[in-house]
């Protein structure tokens, strides 16, 4: 996705697209609040410009904003996302529990978030981390495993 | 300066010499050195000009006493980079990582992945063990 764009433009373009969709949603919402789409659009342009500018700096943040992060910077980014996901899951659980206790009608968004983070975690394990069940090294041999003989 | 000379040809500082003397003192206290050996080693350490000469003065001292990484001593990667006359930014560009990552690796604050460790070692014509090897434990 967006691989046709120069590295430095990818993050600003992604944020611009998200901001446009958000502003468009307010416009589609119509009514008296249609004007919210205007500050949303202005904010999007400001964020995209800041990201583009940051992408040209020689810092860790600049490398991430410019989509040229090396392995350490990617690792830091990945840990931060994992932390954010953990917080989202914990917050959702607390919200769901509170909503149930209060018999509130707004319990379901917490449940949806909790399910998404949970299934996302399981999907990640299946995609990245689960090793195939192999046989022990000496299971398919009739003779016992030979170890080097010490002198 | 030839690349293969590595750390050994670099000039040692007063702090390095003091560190070596401290290691010799510890070895003497632990009865690893006789008094005449201790005096001879200390004299050699105090007159050492390079790391190679300093290493000769502390030969036979166990690794825990004679720590490989001393305070104020440049890391092997930083030493090699200096030998090659490269800046951190130039090395970072050659390795395909950021300048900040090079600094953190040199300071020992970030251990690179195996592929990057091999890339660094091959770039300088050395082995991974030269840069990231653990000191031997209890070897006298």
pLDDT in tens, A64-99: 999 999 999 999 999 999 999 999 999 999 999 999
Examine the predicted complex and report whether its ipTM is higher than 0.90: no
Q: How far apart are CA A2 and CA A10, in angstroms?
A: 6
Q: How many CB pairs under 8 A join A and B?
A: 28
Q: B66-109, pLDDT tens digit by residue?
A: 544 444 566 889 989 998 999 999 999 999 999 999 999 999 89
The confidence band for A45, taking pLDDT boundaries of 50, 70 and 90, is: very high
pLDDT average, residue stretch B11-35: 77
Same-domain status, A87 and A46: no
Range of the domain at A119: 70-128
A135 located within any domain: no
> Do B98 and A73 make contact, defined as CB atoms within 8 angstroms?
yes
Chain B CB contacts of A66 under 8 Å are none
Q: Are residues A80 and A64 in the same domain?
A: no
Q: How far apart are CA B128 and CA B51, in angstroms?
A: 21
Nearest Cα of chain A lies from the Cα of B54 at a distance, in angstroms, of: 35
Q: What are phi and psi of B92, to 5 degrees?
A: -60, -40
Q: Which of A69, A93, A111 is the last residue of a domain?
A: A69
Exposed / middle / buried, residue B123 (Cβ in 10 Å: 0-12, 13-18, 19+) = middle
Q: Is residue A56 located within the same domain as residue A12?
A: yes
Nearest to B7, CA basis, from B91, B80, B108: B80
Q: Given pLDDT bands bounded at 50, 70 and 90, which one contains residue B1?
A: very low
Residue with the larger pLDDT of the pair A133 and B120: B120
Residues of chain A neighbouring B116 (CB-CB closer than 8 A): 71
Spatial contact of B113 and A73, defined as CB atoms under 8 Å apart: no
Query: Residue A36 domain-assigned?
Result: yes
| CB pair distance less than 8 Å for A71 and B100 | no
CA-based nearest residue in chain A for residue B112: A72
Radius of gyration for the alpha carbons in chain A, expressed in angstroms and rounded:
24
DSSP 8-state symbol, A149 = P
Contact B98 A71 (CB under 8 A): no
* Superfamily of domain B76-132 in the CATH hierarchy: lambda repressor-like DNA-binding domains (1.10.260.40)
**B55 pLDDT higher than 90:** no
pTM, 2 dp: 0.65
Which of B40 and A149 is assigned the larger pLDDT?
B40
Q: Residue B2 — pLDDT band, cuts 50, 70, 90?
A: very low
Per-residue pLDDT at B62: 62
Span B103-119, average pLDDT? 93
Q: Which residue out of B88, B100, B105 would a mutagenesis test of the A interface target, given it has the greatest number of A Cβ atoms within 10 Å?
A: B100
From-to residues of CATH 1.10.260.40 in chain B: 76-132
Confidence of residue B52 (pLDDT cuts 50, 70, 90): confident
Establish if A14 belongs to a structural domain. yes
Tokens of A109: 């968004």
CB contact (8 A) between residue B100 and residue A60? yes
CB atoms near residue A84 (< 10 Å): 10
- Please report which confidence band the pLDDT of residue A150 belongs to, taking 50, 70 and 90 as the band edges: very low
| Mean pLDDT to the nearest integer, B100-120 | 94
Do A86 and A59 share a domain, yes or no? no
Q: Give the bridge partners for B50, in sequence order.
A: B11
Does residue A27 belong to any structural domain of this protein? yes
If contacts are CB pairs under 8 Å, which of residues 17-76 in chain B contact chain A?
none
For chain B, what is the total number of helices (H) and then of strands (E)? 8, 0
Give the angle B124-B70-A75 at the CA atoms, nearest 5°. 60
CA distance to A15, A61, B49, per residue, from A53 (Å)? 14, 11, 49
List pLDDT tens digits, range A5-15.
999 999 999 99
The beta strands (E) that lie in chain B are given as none
B110 touches chain A (CB under 8 A): yes
Radius of gyration of chain B (CA): 17
Cα dihedral B39, B42, B46, B49 in deg (nearest 10): 120
- Do residues A44 and A12 both lie within one domain? yes
- Mean pLDDT, chain A, rounded, equals 89
């Amino acid at each position: 996705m967006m691989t046709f764009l120069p590295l430095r433009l990818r993050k600003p373009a992604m944020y611009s697209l998200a901001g446009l969709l958000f502003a468009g949603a307010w416009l589609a919402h119509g009514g008296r609040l249609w004007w919210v789409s205007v500050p949303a659009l202005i904010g999007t342009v400001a964020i995209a410009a800041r990201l583009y500018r940051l992408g040209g700096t020689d810092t860790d943040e600049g490398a991430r904003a410019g989509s040229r992060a090396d392995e350490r910077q990617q690792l830091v980014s990945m840990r931060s996302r994992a932390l954010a996901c953990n917080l989202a899951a914990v917050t959702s659980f607390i919200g769901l529990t509170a909503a149930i206790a209060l018999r509130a009608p707004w319990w379901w968004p917490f449940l949806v978030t909790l399910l998404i983070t949970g299934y996302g975690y399981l999907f990640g394990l299946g995609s990245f981390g689960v090793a195939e069940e192999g046989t022990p090294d000496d299971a398919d041999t009739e003779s016992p495993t030979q170890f080097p003989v010490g002198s | 300066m030839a690349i293969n000379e590595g750390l050994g040809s670099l000039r040692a500082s007063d702090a390095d010499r003091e560190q070596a003397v401290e290691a010799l003192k510890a070895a003497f206290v632990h009865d690893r050195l006789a008094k005449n050996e201790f005096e001879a080693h200390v004299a050699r350490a105090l007159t050492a000009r390079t790391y190679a000469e300093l290493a000769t003065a502390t030969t036979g001292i166990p690794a825990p006493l004679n720590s490989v990484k001393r305070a104020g001593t440049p890391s092997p990667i930083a030493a090699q980079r200096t030998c090659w006359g490269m800046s951190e930014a130039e090395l970072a560009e050659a390795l395909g990582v950021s300048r900040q990552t090079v600094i953190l690796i040199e300071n020992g604050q970030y251990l690179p992945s195996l592929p990057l460790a091999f890339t660094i070692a091959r770039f300088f014509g050395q082995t991974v063990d030269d840069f990231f090897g653990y000191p031997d434990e209890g070897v006298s």
